[in-house]
Structure 1
Amino acid sequence: MRTIVGGIVLAALIGVAAGLVLTNMQTPAWRAFSTSGARVGDPGENLIGPPWGRERSAKS
């Protein structure tokens, strides 16, 4: 019984540690893949389509 509980606790600790490490290592795609050939800026600057939210009510 101690082995099973120890395994569950160890799995939980590994999961939490992996979640924290991987969250800190992530880079947004628009930042990671911005090269001179694909000029992708901040996603808020190059959106297309009808405006949503506050922008829609302000322009109407």
Structure 2
Amino acid sequence: MKSFVAAVAFAVFAAVGVAMVLNNFQESSSVAFTTTGARVGDPGHNLIGPS
């Protein structure tokens, strides 16, 4: 039982850590896909939410 609790605690710790790291690297699609061939403007309030 102790090993199961330790595994669950590690999974929660790892998930929170990875979420914090990924939050620093992610960018919105209006920024990520803006190239010379793509015309992505201000997203407003569509599926990706406010910028």
Residue 22 of structure 1 pairs with residue 19 of structure 2: no
Residue 34 of structure 1 pairs with residue 37 of structure 2: no
| Number of residue-to-residue matches in the alignment | 45
| Amino-acid identity (%) | 43
Partners of 2:18 and 2:32 in 1: CA distance = 21
* Structure 1 residue 18, shift from structure 2 partner: 1.3
- For 1:15, the aligned partner's letter is A
Find the structure with the greater CA-based Rg: 1
RMSD between aligned residues:
1.8
1:49 aligns to what? none
Q: How does 1:1-60 map to 2 (within 5 A)?
A: 1-44=1-44
For structure 1, the 5+ residue unaligned runs are: 45-60
| TM value normalised by structure 2 | 0.68
| TM value normalised by structure 1 | 0.61
* Structure 1 residue 2, shift from structure 2 partner: 1.6
For structure 2, the 5+ residue unaligned runs are: 45-51
